[in-house]
Amino acid sequence: MPRIAVLTSGGDAPGMNAAVWAIIKLGAANGVEIVGVERGYDGLIDGEFRPLTRATAGGLVPVPGIAWLAGTGGTFLGSTRCARFLTPEGRKAAADRLTGAGIDALVVIGGNGSLTGAHRLAAETATTLVGIPASIDNDVGGTTDALGVDTALNTILEACDRISDTARSHHRAFIIEVMGRRSGYLAMAAGVAATADAVLLPEQPKTSGEILDQLEGLIRASFAPERDKRRLLIVKAEGVPIPTIQLASDLEERVADLDDVSVRASVLGHLVRGGRPTYQDRMLAGRLALAAITALGDGHSDVMTAWSSPMGTPTIDTSVTLVPLAAMIEETKAMLDGSSEVVRRRVRLLREVQGVLAL
């Protein structure tokens, strides 16, 4: 009987559990034993496997007690940052564990760092594997969306709406920092949806002085007597280097002459990563998992299932393609250094609406 292992790696993302559950169900339906790897690549090196399907008289079924998976956030298999896996010796130890456990293939669910590690494992040890992109930052090259992005955006949007209630009540300007590392996607998408007055992105580099000048001017114009504006909302990506609390403090000093106007900061932090996955993330998890299991059955390896991507090999699902992990790595580098057309297009679009946001 074929055996497939599945692991989650890197930062947790809503939808990871839904993808694991889909893999369990698809494996059982196709007579494929599914094994979970606990604690990501660390657990793979240490051989921490747990059965996720079991044999019955009627065939394979999921093991008891995990039917709740699809509707939960985080990752029940656990995840770590694994320094050992960064070395060829660590990757060989991981491959040896798979072979020793009689495992035929591996599904890796994670972000660009985890999928880069998967590519190296496949290239160096001939391990058969497929990746599923999962990162709230949406910084995985070659896919329009990754697991967790939609849930994170909805969480940010709810926080912006709640903070806006307070801002309107007290005539305040709020700076809200959201996660995203070096990618400003969450800040841009949530800022537009929340009708923010400004969005600060690492893809639009500015000095601290330029940012302060821009935002001071925005506050003065927005709270001018002829405007009946009671709330100002600025969404800032964590990749913008000026500290958010310091930015709010400096701005408040600059506009101290304005009556009844204050500036506050709120750093959402890890709040953005948790929570029950939305419909969109559960649907995405199921379809990417189906493509992953099908790809392994068709003999593919060293690829990632990608959503609505212009690159890659088509699958039976017209919205999903198989993108080589090597191509994902190159496109991710381009996204993070700003040379990707995807990032350039995002920045152009934001530039077009900046004047509109401030109205």
Tell me whether residue 345 is in a domain: no
> What's the number of domains the chain is made of?
2
Q: Choose the final residue of a domain: 236, 254, 273.
A: 273
Q: What is the CATH number of the domain that holds 16?
A: 3.40.50.450
Tell me whether residue 309 is in a domain: yes
Name beta bridge partners: 198. Answer: 234
Q: What is the pLDDT along the chain (359 residues), one digit of tens a residue?
A: 699 999 999 999 999 999 999 999 999 999 999 999 999 999 999 999 999 999 999 999 999 999 889 999 999 999 988 999 999 999 999 999 999 999 999 999 999 999 999 999 999 999 999 999 999 999 999 999 999 999 999 999 999 999 999 999 888 999 999 999 889 999 999 999 999 999 999 988 899 999 999 999 999 999 888 888 889 999 999 999 999 999 999 999 999 998 888 999 999 999 999 999 999 999 999 999 999 999 999 999 999 999 999 899 999 999 999 999 999 999 999 988 888 888 888 888 777 777 666 64
One domain for residues 287 and 261: no
**pLDDT value of residue 227:** 84
One domain for residues 187 and 46: no
Determine whether 281 is an active site residue.
no
Residues contacting 160, CB < 8 A, separation 6+: 176, 190, 194, 196, 233, 235
Tell me whether residue 359 is in a domain: no
31: left (phi over 0), alpha (psi -120 to 50) or beta: left
Tell me whether residue 128 is in a domain: yes
Query: Looking at 12, 46, 96, 137, which residue is catalytic?
Result: 137
**pLDDT value of residue 358:** 60
Instruction: State which H helix or E strand residue 45 sits in.
Output: helix 40-46
One domain for residues 75 and 116: yes
One domain for residues 76 and 196: no
pTM (2 d.p.): 0.95
Name beta bridge partners: 265. Answer: 175
One domain for residues 162 and 82: no
- Tell me how far apart the alpha carbons of residues 196 and 190 are, in angstroms, rounded to a whole number: 8
Q: What range defines the domain where residue 247 resides? A: 151-273
Q: Choose the final residue of a domain: 252, 273, 294.
A: 273
One domain for residues 30 and 127: yes
One domain for residues 285 and 267: no
Tell me whether residue 352 is in a domain: no
One domain for residues 235 and 251: yes
Tell me whether residue 344 is in a domain: no
One domain for residues 34 and 183: no
Are the C-beta atoms of residues 233 and 160 closer than 8 Å to each other?
yes
Residues contacting 105, CB < 8 A, separation 6+: 2, 4, 5, 127, 128, 129, 130, 296, 301
Name beta bridge partners: 7. Answer: 108
Tell me whether residue 232 is in a domain: yes
Tell me whether residue 358 is in a domain: no
Q: Choose the final residue of a domain: 255, 273, 291.
A: 273
Q: What is the CATH number of the domain that holds 164?
A: 3.40.50.460
CA of residue 55 relative to chain centroid, distance = 35
CA of residue 235 relative to chain centroid, distance = 18
One domain for residues 243 and 179: yes
- Tell me how far apart the alpha carbons of residues 34 and 77 are, in angstroms, rounded to a whole number: 13
**pLDDT value of residue 345:** 85
Report residue 88 as tokens.
């060829």
One domain for residues 156 and 180: yes
Counting Cβ atoms within 10 Å, is residue 52 exposed (0-12), middle (13-18) or buried (19+)? Answer: buried
One domain for residues 268 and 282: no
**pLDDT value of residue 289:** 98
Tokens 């979970």 — which residue?
36
